[in-house]
Structure 1
Amino acid sequence: MAGSRPRVLLIAELCNPDWVSVPLEGWSLARALAEVADVHLVTQVRNRENILKQGLVEGKDFTALDSTPVERPLEKVGEVLRGKAGVGWTTATALSVLPYYYFEELLWRRFGDRIRAKEFDVVHRYTPISPTTPSTLAARCADAGVPFIMGPMNGGLPWPKGFGDARLREREWLSYIRDVYKLMPFYQSTRKNAAALMMGSRATRAQLSQEYQDKVVYIPENAIDVRRFGTSKAEPPKPGEPLRVAFVGRFVPYKGMAMLIDAAAPLVREGKVRVEFIGDGAEMQNLRAQVAKGGLESGVTFAGWVKHQELQGRLSKNHIFGFPSVREFGGAVVAEAMALGLVPIVMDYGGPGEIVSPSTGFAIPMGTPQEIVERVRGVLEKLVADPSVIGPMGERARARIFKHFTWKAKAEQVLEVYRWVSGERGQPDFGMPLAD
């Protein structure tokens, strides 16, 4: 591999250019890695048609495996246990493990001989991102003498105190016994036999036992597609203009939209702040009722879902990104908003608190719901009183994202991990979290 492009078997079961969240992350990193390495992508058959539309050649550039015979029965179980769409993610992750074991078995049948023949320098499992999903491949690759790496992995952020009601409304019953996943088959084997474990957050790294910490490289989970974000730019508020605050995401309890409404309410009534909610979900009815009860209809609006390709134009009309989510693993939308020059207000907990630095936004200390409302309101009042700080802070936010949080930057970081496990360099350390 020395001096050449590494040959990588990239496993991204979730990988789709036309979807959002983790499937889009899988696709984005796969394409970025293809610029610096010779990548053969292995994914699930559900992604096949959309990948073909992007011009990739099946068999040459990617392989699609069909694990649906095991997936479909468990999907029906999930529908019963999870109820409303968009909640019960711990349950969904647990139910995905058995189909994923089958997916990896199909992969080994197809590629095991080629791995043993060392046709690949590295086997890299990117998705699933969750650290709770073990791999049957780590030990097999170790026996074959081919480095197996995972990540960036992210997840497992504990529920903060004071949000028990939101936890129940999210149907997060399994989160109470979440550490049971460490007893799952292949959990210890995965970590023992992996050559490197890329961790996407400090919280996820903290879950790993001390005996495996020497395998860790910190690389944040999220990044932006520079073709979709960053070509537009938010303008700071003009004198006398209301401060425009945007939220983007699924309308579920832990995202904190109700707290954002309460925080902004006095300023909305005074005509100093307007809030736009972009998205939809189970909490929509409750949020509309909250706005109506508070007499806030003139300053709080609901845009519904906006296509990801059109989100840049919509967001760039705002000044502030209000996102007080109390249990956010990654926070890709925070990076996207910052790339446009919006100043973020997030919780200093989980992924958003690692994307936002003190010079680029406001990371609010965790507390009770009322404490969070008061702290977010304090930031909004400060910005209303002195909006001159918004422009410079937004510029610094843009610079931070384009330095550290593009898919190109992430692919270059992962490439250094490939070089490390191949013996070409020492263990990389990019900082934790990444500095401005």
Structure 2
Amino acid sequence: MHLVTRVRNRPALDRCGLKEGQDYTAINTEFLFEPIARLVRWISGPNKGWAVVTALTIPSYLLFELIARKRFKKRLREFDLVHRITPVSPAVPSPMATWCRRAGVPFVLGPLNGGLPWPKEFPNLRKQEGEWLSGFRSLFRALPGYRSTRNAAAAIIAGGKSAFREIPGIWKDKVVYIPENAFDPSRFPVPTHRRSAQDYQGRPLRAIYLGRLVPYKGCDMLLEAAADLLRQGRMTMTVVGSGPESKRIRNLIARLDIGHAVECTGELPHRQVAEYLRRADILTFPSVHEFGGAVVLEAMAMGVVPVISDYGGPAELASPHCAFLVPLQERDAYIQAFRDVLHTIASDPARLLPLAENGRQRADKLFTWPQKAEQILAVYRWVLGQETTRPDWGIPFKDD
């Protein structure tokens, strides 16, 4: 395997022991990418306007592939296949797909993600997130290279159900659905102690929120939903994350008079997150517009039961057999529905036990990185003719 990547990834690859020129090639397009990214941050604010970022950085991705072609034109036939993993946006065309087809080298595209509509129940979220351009998202199908990329690809990996659904039917026979998220079992190991009903007695329910503090992830709605339990001493909550909503969240905690039961850690290194998860009973993650949701897998792996919206990526990764899926509704009704679920759990925490075990098994069966590697290898074998049946891991559009 030879990795072709942006030069900004060189330090991380070197730390892993990879050798430039032998294991990977670093291509410098930062002189074009970074000024555009700074412009978008200036227009939309930090961590906002992802659709604008994608649209304006398309030229840098095309430049990346042009440079890659020049460096590998004479060597392209040395490889059995070419896999373009990033960018995950379906709006970015790939000239490499056509170049590979001409050379007789199978081209694999994806995982592609996106296409998740902004929920109609929260009409102001798109504006708050600086995603005005997403209203014109469907126009990406008219971009030069959109059709040729998909026509030339031997396989297209869809990283989410929304991405799967928006791929036109003429290419569906080459699409494989593989959720893009996974977790590292060494960082989020199965707890050595399996809880019993007695473990919940004599203490409050322990909830944890993991994520950026931005409007669509709904930490404010979570606090309102949990406020009664927190004030009554029947629940504690740890908020792990930072973002533009940090000050507003702290003010809300003070206004709701729940500061004695809520710990705000700010942003933590990824390796420390497991320590907080290990002490939690439930992951309370009410995000209403989430493509992925890796925190859901990390929680499931450690026996922490997710309480999540029944929409987008989190609902794909979990299932009613291992999580509480809260129907997406308008704000007040959604908060009340979340509140009802939390009160139901607090009244009988032992109901978490079978869900926790089911979640551990589901995460281990489908969503570890080694499992993800096997899923991708199955796609490779299929496009190379080593397998005649298109891979199907039994994940899409049903609960396992």
Is the TM-score greater than 0.5? Answer: yes
Equivalent position SS for 2:61: helix
1:338 aligns with 2:300: yes
Taking a change above 3 Å as real, the CA distance of residues 222 and 127 of structure 1, as seen in their structure-2 partners, is same
> What's the CA shift for 1:382?
1.1
The 5 A counterparts of 1:136-215 are 136-215=95-174
Query: Which of 93, 104, 125 is the matching residue for 2:65?
Result: 104
Aligned to 2:10: 48
Equivalent position SS for 2:334: helix
The 5 A counterparts of 1:280-429 are 280-425=242-387, 426-429=389-392
Which whole-Å CA distance do the structure 1 matches of 2:290 and 2:38 have between them?
Answer: 27
Q: Quick check: 1:251–1:280 contact (8 Å CA) kept in 2? A: yes
> What's the CA shift for 1:223?
0.3
> 2:178 is matched by which residue type in structure 1?
I
Aligned to 2:176: 217
> What's the CA shift for 1:342?
0.4
Q: Quick check: 1:343–1:361 contact (8 Å CA) kept in 2? A: yes
Q: TM-score if structure 2 supplies the norm length?
A: 0.95
> 1:331 is matched by which residue type in structure 2?
G
CA displacement, residues 248-284 of structure 1 (integer Å, 9 cap, x when unaligned):
1111100011111111111111111111110000001
Percent identity at matched positions?
44
Q: Quick check: 1:234–1:318 contact (8 Å CA) kept in 2? A: no
Aligned to 2:75: 114
> 2:113 is matched by which residue type in structure 1?
N
Q: Quick check: 2:158–2:164 contact (8 Å CA) kept in 1? A: yes
> What's the CA shift for 1:232?
4.2
Q: Quick check: 2:49–2:130 contact (8 Å CA) kept in 1? A: yes
> What's the CA shift for 1:231?
4.8
Q: Quick check: 2:210–2:239 contact (8 Å CA) kept in 1? A: yes
Q: Quick check: 1:232–1:312 contact (8 Å CA) kept in 2? A: no
CA displacement, residues 76-104 of structure 1 (integer Å, 9 cap, x when unaligned):
32122222x11221112222211111111
Find runs of 4+ consecutive structure 1 residues off by over 4 angstroms.
231-237
Which whole-Å CA distance do the structure 1 matches of 2:310 and 2:91 have between them?
Answer: 23
Which whole-Å CA distance do the structure 1 matches of 2:233 and 2:298 have between them?
Answer: 27
Taking a change above 3 Å as real, the CA distance of residues 423 and 332 of structure 1, as seen in their structure-2 partners, is same
CA displacement, residues 201-246 of structure 1 (integer Å, 9 cap, x when unaligned):
1111111111111111111110001111125468655202111110
> 1:136 is matched by which residue type in structure 2?
P
Which whole-Å CA distance do the structure 1 matches of 2:9 and 2:116 have between them?
Answer: 28
Which whole-Å CA distance do the structure 2 matches of 1:297 and 1:330 have between them?
Answer: 30
Which whole-Å CA distance do the structure 1 matches of 2:100 and 2:320 have between them?
Answer: 42
> What's the CA shift for 1:73?
2.6
Q: TM-score if structure 1 supplies the norm length?
A: 0.88
Which whole-Å CA distance do the structure 1 matches of 2:316 and 2:245 have between them?
Answer: 27
Which whole-Å CA distance do the structure 2 matches of 1:47 and 1:150 have between them?
Answer: 21
Equivalent position SS for 1:227: coil
Query: Which of 38, 41, 47 is the matching residue for 1:76?
Result: 38
Taking a change above 3 Å as real, the CA distance of residues 149 and 315 of structure 1, as seen in their structure-2 partners, is same
What is the aligned length? 395
Q: Quick check: 1:91–1:174 contact (8 Å CA) kept in 2? A: yes
Equivalent position SS for 2:53: helix
Which whole-Å CA distance do the structure 1 matches of 2:53 and 2:218 have between them?
Answer: 22
